Amino acid sequence: MTSQTRTVRPADAASQGVLAVLIARTVRGVHRIGRAARDAGSALPKVVTPVGWGVIVATGSALAAGYVWGWAELVAVGWGLAIATGVAALWLIGTGASKVELTLPTPRVAVGELAEARLVAENPGHRRFGGVQLELPVGDRVLERVLPALPRGGVVDERLRIPTARRGVVPIGPARTVRADPIGIVRREVVWSGTVLLHVHPRTISMGALSTGFVRDLEGSPTRDLTASDIAFHALREYVPGDDRRHIHWRSSAKTGTFMVRQYEETRRSRLIVLLDLDPSAYAGDDEFELAVSAAASLGARAIRDARSLAFVASGAAGARSPVRQLPTVSRDRLLDALSLVQLESRAAALPDVARAAGETQPGVSLAFLITGTAHGVSHLRMAASRLPVGVETVGVRCSPAGEASARQSSRLTVFGIGYLEDLQAMLARAAANA
C-alpha cells in the first residue's frame, strides 16, 4: 500500500483557528444569555407586583380570546396591556444612587428628645437621574422621601426625624431605594444599608447624693454591731481571754490596774439597691409605670455617677428559681439601655417576695429604694421593707402622675408619694437638708 501524506496549507490552518475562536465565543455568549435569563427568571417574582401579575394574566387572556374568537376589541385591549407592561418595565432602569449610607448621629436619646437618622446618597455618575423614592423603615412605620435629580457626582444629605414619644429600642433600616411605575405593575427595591438601633431612654432628672439624709458614709457607715477590730471607736471594756492583745489600751490599763481593750462599731460601705416593681397589679395605668421607670432610672444614674456600690433589680417571674432580675450597672448607658426594654410582666412576683430575694442575693445593703405604683396600699411597701435584712434603711416611692407629693415615715421605712420626677428631687434634697 502506498501511504499518502496530506499537507496542511497555512491558509487552511488560519481559517480553522478563526472558526474555533468563533465557536468558543458563541458558546460563552450562550452561557451568558442563559445566566441572564435565569437571573431574570429568579428576579421576576420580586419585581412584578400582584397588580402586575393580574395585568400579565389579563394580557395573555385577552390576546388568546381575541385571536381565537376573532374579537378585535379583545386584541386591542391585549396589545394595550402589553404595551403598558413594556413601558412600565422602563421605570426599572437604573438604581438612582451608587451608595446610600445610613447613620445615627445620636444613638441614645431620652423620651421626647430630638432624634434623627442621616442618609447620604450619591449619584452613579454618568446620567442625571430623576427623583427616586427612598424608604426607611422605622419600627413599624416607613418614612418616605423622594431624592431630587442629581448631576454626575452629586450628593444629597437627608435627615429624617425619628419619633421618640415612647421609651424603647427602635430598629431603623435598612435604607432602600424604590423604582416603580405609576400604575403599580412593577416595583424594584435596592437595599443599601443594614439596620441600626436607636435606644430611647426613660426620662431622668438630676438629684443629690442618694445616701445623704439616710446613711452617713465616711469610708464606711457605722452600725450598731460591735466588733473587736474596725475604724469606728466605740468604748473600752475589760480584757477577756481570747481578745487580741494588739487592742489593749495600755494607758487606761495602767490607770485602772486592769487590762482594758478597745471596742469598735462595725462599719460597712454603704451599698444601695434600687428595686423596680414590674407587677401589673401594682399600677393604676401605664403612666404610673412610666413614671416609676423614670424615677428608678434617675436613682440608678445618680448612684453610678457617685461611684456607689449599686445593685439594680426588677421583678422576676413568680415561681422561677429567682424572682429577681438584675440589670447591668457598669455604666449609666448600659443601665438605661436595659431600662429601655423593661416592661410589665404578667407573671411577675409580688414586691415582698422580690424584696426578700434581693436581700438574700445582695449582701451588705444599707439603703434600699422600692419603686412601685399606687394600686397597692402602703401596707404592701411595709411588708416588702420587713423582708429586707435588719438595719437596711428603706425608701418606698409610690408613683402617681400629676398626683400630690407626700412624705411619711414609720420606723425604718420612708414613703414618698410623687406626681412628677421633680417631687422626688425635692424630697431627697429636703432629706439632705434635715440630716
> Could you read off the pLDDT of 350-367 as tens digits, one per residue?
999 999 999 888 888 888
CA proximity to 200, closest of 227, 167, 165: 167
Q: What is the CATH number of the domain that holds 410?
A: 3.40.50.410
Beta bridge partners of 177: 134, 190
With respect to residue 425, please indicate whether it lies within any of the assigned structural domains: yes
* 249 and 350 fall within a common domain: no
**For cell 454626575, what's the residue?**
152
Same domain for 241 and 344, yes or no, is no
54 and 80 in a single domain? The answer is yes
111 and 191 fall within a common domain: yes
For 124-172, what is each residue's pLDDT tens digit?
Answer: 655 555 567 788 899 888 888 777 766 677 778 888 899 899 999 999 9
67, 115: one domain: no
How far apart are alpha carbons 325 and 274 in whole angstroms? 12
List b or e across 239-261, with b for residues whose CB sees 16 or more CB atoms inside 10 angstroms.
beeebeeeeebeeebeeeeeebb
pTM of the model: 0.69
User: Domain residues for 420?
Assistant: 271-434
The cell for 228 is 473587736
Asked whether residue 215 is assigned to any structural domain, the reply reads: no
Q: How does pLDDT run across 61-120, given as a tens digit for each residue?
A: 888 888 888 888 888 888 888 888 877 777 666 655 567 888 899 999 999 999 999 888
Partners of residue 309 on adjacent β-strands? 271
Instruction: Report the alpha-carbon distance of residue 89 to residue 119 in Å, rounded.
Output: 27
CB atoms inside a 10 Å sphere around CB 167: 22
